[in-house]
Structure 1
Amino acid sequence: MHELMYYYRTRVAPTWEVTWFFILHGVAVAAEVVVKKVVPEKMRLHPVVSGALALGFLAVTADWLLLLQLLRNGLDEKTIGEYCKLMDLLKGLLTF
């Protein structure tokens, strides 16, 4: 479904990067569950540290697999152009 949403927005054939993002995160969650079952409670990382690592992992993989695909297909420029046209329309409607 996510690949379809990217296709509708970019009109470029799917590269499966979005699917790999979710597969990678599914494997990471499964590994986390296994590690939590194996490692004793007192040897685990502090929740602040593990949370920061999880957010870092999310940021890096989202940039690598999600954002770059959009930038490569020029979606940022298309979006900025659409907002500029919207602002021009609103300015035209608000001026007397």
Structure 2
Amino acid sequence: EVFGSAGNIAVSNNTPHRAVLSDADGVHGALPLHFFLERYMDAYVAEMEAFIQAIAHDGPVPATGLDGRIPVVMGLAAWQSHRENRPVKLSEIA
């Protein structure tokens, strides 16, 4: 899940059903159908194929260092927000 000032987005796993129960003990739902490697195998294969093609044809790689850095910065901002109990802008993270 990602929450922003204009809304949010959430992506769920493939489960036997979509029912989710929220009660005093927490939020409960079905477990994912498969181990994470099986769930995301197509994505891993596509990622590797794109990387191999970029290397084989001396082309640009589809994901850059910045693409890897952004989720780290998001996580650090979320952690700082939790610790300080305030919204933290990504620009605040070095």
Please tell me whether Structure 1 or Structure 2 has the larger radius of gyration of its CA atoms: 1
Instruction: For CA contacts below 8 A with separation 6 or more, give which structure has more relative contact order.
Output: 1
TM-score by length of 2: 0.31
1 or 2, which has the higher helix percentage? 1
Structure with more strand by fraction: 2
